[in-house]
């Protein structure tokens, strides 16, 4: 999934992870359940925590949840921004914000390299309660 402006051979692994993250949000926005299914790992365990939901811990439950969400005409439109990726070998963690019509969520998407592709193994999103400084100093914690 190379970026539109950059040939795959010129992409760093971080670029490839961020491109996979973009494809995740593209599938969400276009309500493309087949694309969403292709973005999730097949050979590795997966999990997902939608806002307000219990943790889903197997691929069948995770994909059923996405099919239900994407088929719901009332499902929110989401735009991803402020994304960043950190790589740990064959695992990458993307943190980002999800802008909805009337709310902002903070999300973590975890990808694993499988057969040369970066695929989702975990997604979790929850409400952004307070916005403060960046940099990991703890300045935006509530306590």
Indicate the domain borders of the chain. 8-127
pTM equals 0.84
Q: Please identify which residue in the block is written with the tokens 């087949």.
A: 34
Contact 69, 61 (CB under 8 A): no
Residuewise pLDDT in 10s, the chain (143 residues): 454 555 666 789 999 999 999 999 999 999 999 999 999 999 999 999 999 899 999 999 999 999 999 999 988 889 999 999 999 999 999 999 999 888 899 999 999 999 999 999 999 999 988 766 655 444 443 33
Note the pLDDT of residue 8.
Answer: 60
Query: Is the CATH code 3.40.50.300 the one for domain 8-127?
Result: no
- β-bridge mates for residue 113, sequence order: 118
Task: Take residue 40 and report the two structure tokens written for it.
Answer: 């999730």
Q: Please identify which residue in the block is written with the tokens 């490839």.
A: 16
Q: Which residues contact 60 (CB under 8 A, 6 or more apart)?
A: none
């Amino acid at each position: 999934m190379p970026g539109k402006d950059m040939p795959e051979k010129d992409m760093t692994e971080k670029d490839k992870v961020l491109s996979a993250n973009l494809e995740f949000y593209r599938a969400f926005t276009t309500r493309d359940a087949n694309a969403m299914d292709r973005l999730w790992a097949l050979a590795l365990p997966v999990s997902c925590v939608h806002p307000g939901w219990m943790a889903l811990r197997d691929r069948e439950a995770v994909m059923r949840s996405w099919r239900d969400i994407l088929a719901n005409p009332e499902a929110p439109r989401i735009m991803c921004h402020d994304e960043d990726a950190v790589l740990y070998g064959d695992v990458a963690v993307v943190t980002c914000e999800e802008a909805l019509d009337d709310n902002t969520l903070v999300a973590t998407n975890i990808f694993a390299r499988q057969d040369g592709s970066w695929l989702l193994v975990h997604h979790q999103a929850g409400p952004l309660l307070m916005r403060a400084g960046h940099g990991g100093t703890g300045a935006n914690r509530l306590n």
